[in-house]
């Protein structure tokens, strides 16, 4: 099977997987989400597929951009990254990296489960196994797509609480039971991502989230020499990736 067909097949399998999840979990998740938000918003769907994937041309894809999870606009429109943070991401990509975001950037999330705030996923404890399963699936999907075309760059947006800002360590676990701390919102995605890329020659780039200007502030913080933006991105993204992988001997380029 050729590269184009493999990417198309993986997208089709993702759509089918969302359909299967909906048949099992959608009704109960909708009830819990409506209760969580006290019917303050219209919850159209709890498990969201990115319909924009169906019209993307695999030959034109340059980046895989991975956000957190679908928010209010995403669950309404059925398209990932169409909220405020998504607008910032699109603007940055079209200014610095691509000519046409919709054609050159394949957008995924760390979780397909809708919540108003990403941290609200932790409130869905009754659906714990599905929460874990879906994050691991998304990490596998990222890796499988990347494996088909290693020239695509993977841009992970946001730590989802899984990196400690004090020491740069990822995925800290409790000593008593080995579970992740509650502050780590999407740990199963990052744990599976780490597992997938261990012993792989491929590398992803990890950055702070576009929301609240976290990403732009980080760029300014590390770009002390007014370097070319792609060089800055490469060094920052590699720094956080190597931290995740536990490469304690890794040091980012001094120009960052």
* CA distance linking residue 235 with residue 229, whole number of Å: 10
Provide the number of structural domains found in the chain.
1
- CATH number of domain containing 15: 3.40.470
Per the structure block, which two tokens stand in for 185?
A: 């919102």
pLDDT on residue 72: 94
Confidence band, pLDDT 50/70/90 cuts, at residue 177: low
Residue 99 CA to residue 13 CA, distance in Å, equals 28
**Structural domain range at position 102:** 3-245
Residue 251 lies in a domain: no
Mean per-residue pLDDT of the chain:
92
**Would you state the pLDDT for residue 251?**
39
Residue 237 lies in a domain: yes
In a domain, 156, yes or no: yes
170 forms beta bridges with 163
* pLDDT tens digits along 81-100: 998 889 999 999 999 999 99
**Which backbone phi and psi does 198 adopt, to 5 degrees?**
-65, 130
Question: Residues 13-60: pLDDT tens digits?
Answer: 999 999 999 999 999 999 999 999 987 788 999 999 999 999 999 999
Task: Give 202-228 pLDDT, tens digit per residue.
Answer: 999 999 999 989 999 999 988 867 679
Q: Percentage helix, strand, coil, to 5, in the chain?
A: 55, 10, 40
Say what the pLDDT of residue 170 is: 95
Whose tokens are 């999330």? That residue is 109
In the chain, pLDDT over 70 holds for what percent of residues?
Answer: 93
For 5, counting Cβ atoms within 10 Å of its Cβ (0-12 exposed, 13-18 middle, 19+ buried), the class is exposed
The packing angle between helices 214-222 and 229-245, to 10°, is 100
pLDDT score recorded for residue 222 = 86
Q: How do strand 205-207 and strand 105-109 relate by DSSP bridges?
A: unpaired
pLDDT at 2: 86
Q: How far apart are CA 18 and CA 162, in angstroms?
A: 25
Question: CA torsion angle for 72, 74, 75, 80 (degrees, to 10)?
Answer: -150
Structure tokens at 31: 């009830």
In the numeric block, which tokens belong to residue 23?
A: 């048949």
Res 178: pLDDT: 64
Mean pLDDT, range 222-249, rounded to an integer: 85
pLDDT digits (tens, 9 = 90+) for 95-109: 999 999 999 999 999
Q: Which two tokens stand for residue 18?
A: 């969302």
Q: Give every CB contact of residue 235 below 8 A, 6+ residues apart in sequence.
A: 222, 252, 253, 255, 256
pTM for the whole thing? 0.93
Residue 199 lies in a domain: yes
Coil vs helix vs strand at 14: helix
Q: Would you state the structure tokens that stand for residue 234, as one six-digit string?
A: 């490469």
Q: With 50 as the cut, is the pLDDT of residue 254 above it?
A: no
Report yes or no on 250 lying in a domain.
no
Say how far apart CA 35 and CA 38 lie, in whole Å: 5
Residue 182 has a pLDDT of 82
């Amino acid at each position: 099977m050729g590269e184009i067909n493999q990417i198309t097949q993986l997208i089709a399998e993702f759509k089918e997987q969302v359909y299967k999840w909906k048949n099992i979990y959608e009704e109960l998740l909708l009830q819990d989400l409506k209760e969580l938000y006290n019917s303050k918003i219209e919850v159209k769907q709890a498990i969201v597929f990115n319909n924009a994937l169906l019209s993307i041309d695999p030959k034109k894809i340059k980046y895989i951009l991975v956000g957190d999870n679908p928010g209010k606009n995403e669950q309404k429109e059925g398209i990932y990254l169409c909220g405020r943070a998504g607008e910032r991401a699109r603007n940055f990509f079209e200014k610095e990296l691509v000519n046409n975001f919709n054609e050159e950037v394949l957008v995924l999330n760390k979780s397909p489960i809708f919540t108003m705030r990403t941290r609200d996923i932790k409130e869905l404890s009754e659906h714990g196994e599905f929460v874990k399963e879906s994050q691991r699936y998304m990490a596998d999907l990222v890796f499988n797509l990347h494996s088909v075309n290693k020239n695509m760059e993977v841009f992970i947006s946001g730590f989802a609480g899984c990196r400690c800002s004090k020491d740069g360590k990822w995925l800290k676990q409790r000593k008593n039971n080995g579970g992740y701390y509650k502050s780590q919102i999407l740990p199963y995605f990052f744990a599976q991502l780490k597992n997938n890329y261990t012993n792989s020659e491929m590398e992803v780039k990890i950055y702070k989230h576009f929301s609240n200007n976290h990403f732009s502030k980080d760029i300014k913080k590390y770009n002390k020499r007014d370097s070319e933006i792609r060089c800055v991105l490469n060094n920052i993204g590699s720094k956080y990736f190597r931290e995740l992988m536990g490469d304690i001997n890794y040091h980012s380029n001094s120009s960052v």
